[in-house]
Amino acid sequence: MEFIDKEAPDVKKPLIIAAMQDMGNVGSIVVNFINKYLNTIPFREVKSTRPPYVYDKGGYIEIPEEKWEYRYGNDMIVFGGGTGQPQQNDELNELCQDVINVAKKYSAKFIYTVGGYHTSRKFGSYPLTYVTTTSNELFELVKKLNIETTPQQSVITGFNGLILGYAKLNDINGIGLYGELLNPDIPQFRAAKSILHTLEKLTYQKFGDMTELDVKAESIDEQLRRKFDK
């Protein structure tokens, strides 16, 4: 992987929100929304040097450019988003370690990650967000805030789970927020909205008017209705 510094971020002991595209694009939707609301500024870029696939354009191929940004604003560092995450384990681990290095460099005390939580529960238009933490002490604090914690044991794969392991190994507090979804192949804007509301409670930050997420969710619902009505 290639790491490129653009400038030094103006932050003091920032919170870090780090998430990549996952089920229902939840990680990317949340990261992109926060970046838009906070008007964050890019300061570091990561590029994959080993493409996971190529595009066949009909007789010739193109190599996709996979890159992710670190951005800052309001004493917060936001990493990730994008259209995918590394497919090789060594690149994925290298990326997690880089987030930890950035956290230590700027004396970050907390890392939050977000993603989708695949469920069979019928939740209508109101998915829950489940939280897991890097310590029992954090777990007890979250419970006092009346925030739902993950209801059962499971394995969390990909960046949006592994980064919590790296945080724990490096004595950095970490919390993962995972929004309920039924169909992981469709962008889940309501799950992202649920996560953002929970993130506001945990961070004492405000991320603005989320009406656009409702509008996008309704648009997808309408597309699905038309598809099944044919």
Q: How far apart are CA 213 and CA 230, in angstroms?
A: 26
Averaged pLDDT, 76-99: 89
Q: Which pLDDT score, from 0 to 100, does residue 171 have?
A: 95
More confident residue, 110 or 230: 110
**For residue 86, which phi and psi values (nearest 5 degrees)?**
-55, 140
3-state helix/strand/coil string of 54-123? CEECCCCEECCCCEEEEEEECCEEEEEECCCCCCCHHHHHHHHHHHHHHHHHCCCCEEEEEEEEECCCCC
Tens digits of residue pLDDT in 6-47: 999 999 899 999 999 889 999 999 999 999 999 999 999 998
List the chain domain ranges.
2-229
What pTM does this model have?
0.91
Fold of domain 2-229:
Rossmann fold (3.40.50)
Tens digits of residue pLDDT in 136-179: 999 999 989 999 999 888 888 889 999 999 999 999 999 999 99
